[in-house]
Amino acid sequence: MVDPDGAAIFLRRQGWHGAGRMPLAGDASTRRYERLIQGDRCALLAFVPPGESHDDFIKIAGLLHAVGLSAPKIMADDPNQGLLLVEDFGDGTYSALLDGGVAALPLYELATDALIHLHRNFTAPPAADLPVFNQELFLQQTMLFCETYLPSVLGAVDETIKDDFRAAWEMPLAQASQVPQSLLLRDFHAGNLFRLPDRPGARACGLIDFQDAGTGPVSYDLVSLLQDARRDVGGEVTAACLPRYRAGFPKTDGVAFETSYAVLAAQRHVRVIAVFARLAAQGRPEYLEYLPRLWRLLNEALTHPALAGVAAWFGAHVPAAVQIDQQSRQ
């Protein structure tokens, strides 16, 4: 826990003494944020709990700045107290804009252009020490489903069932990596994107919540964008943005990309179902409302031929009728 007096001293040293401090609503993160308002200027003060740090956020922000994208500027930090002072992008998240009736397609095209820009220009520095999202890490994340969600369906889960689940994913996840690799932001969705209309080109898309980034398949963040757990993305948006991204990389193998996109869509939805079910069990029932959408997206992804073995496993152990019944009882 940050000492309140310590935060006040930190702000005084940074020239923000007497600024108004407005707590901001959080999400699934353990971090919390305050908006600082002083005259006509604003900033965000971020807090992390003991045992965590802002180091990864600062590192990834630097990598994004280096390729010409808009991450919040780092104004000051105090690692001993877990305090970070950053640029405030305001309230113009994609989620807020879409809820307010702003047309979706231009926003998603801008986000797609930001990914194209990132994947054209990013090269991992030798000393970046970034996590690598490869078959093994994706498998590890996927197994969370067996640990947190499956027991609520089957009770005690036989180890053979878990082994079969892992085996079904091994080949598809190996195929998912057969596309170019780049910086993988991991939570590239409407809640973490901002429209910054005063900035040119891809810089008009502001990025946050990227501290868990690593390197991995370029298809992953496009899945995060177009198959959002928290909101429906219209078919016309997907129909426009997938070809838009593909046109930016005409030499990328089309079949390999399509397979990677489908497999990582399924992987992400399985992981998020498990995470949201765990949050609900920990007293956050609002996450249950997203499960029907996630199951729908997962079942759509499982129609891809590369996922036939995974689809067969779900058909045997968590068929559609069980999914619906479990959602109603969560």
Predicted pLDDT at 190: 98
pLDDT tens digits, 273-286: 999 989 998 999 99
Please, are residues 44 and 72 in contact by the beta-carbon 8 Å criterion?
Answer: yes
Q: What is the pTM of this model?
A: 0.93
175 contacts: CB under 8 Å, gap ≥ 6: 256, 259, 260, 263, 306
Using alpha carbons only, what angle is made at residue 296 by residues 212 and 257, rounded to the nearest 5 degrees? 55
**51-66 residues labelled b (16+ CB within 10 A) or e (exposed):** eeebebbbbbbebbee
Give the pLDDT of residue 323. 72
Per-residue pLDDT tens, the chain, 330 aa: give them: 455 668 999 999 999 999 999 999 766 667 899 999 999 999 999 998 888 889 999 999 999 999 999 999 999 999 999 999 999 999 999 999 999 999 999 999 999 999 999 999 999 888 779 999 999 999 999 999 999 888 877 788 889 999 999 999 999 999 999 999 999 999 999 999 999 999 999 999 999 999 999 999 999 999 999 999 999 999 999 999 999 999 999 999 999 999 999 999 999 999 999 999 899 989 999 999 999 999 999 999 999 999 999 999 999 998 775 675 555 555
b/e for 38-49, b at 16 or more Cβ within 10 A?
Answer: eeeebbbbbbbe
Distances (CA, A) of 48 to 33, 286, 323: 9, 23, 36
Whole-number pLDDT of residue 224: 98
Q: What is the pLDDT at residue 229?
A: 97
In order of their start, the domains of the chain are 4-86 (3.30.200.20), 94-329 (3.90.1200.10)
Q: What is the CA radius of gyration of the chain?
A: 21
pLDDT confidence of residue 51:
82
86-110 residue pLDDT tens: 999 999 999 999 999 999 999 999 9
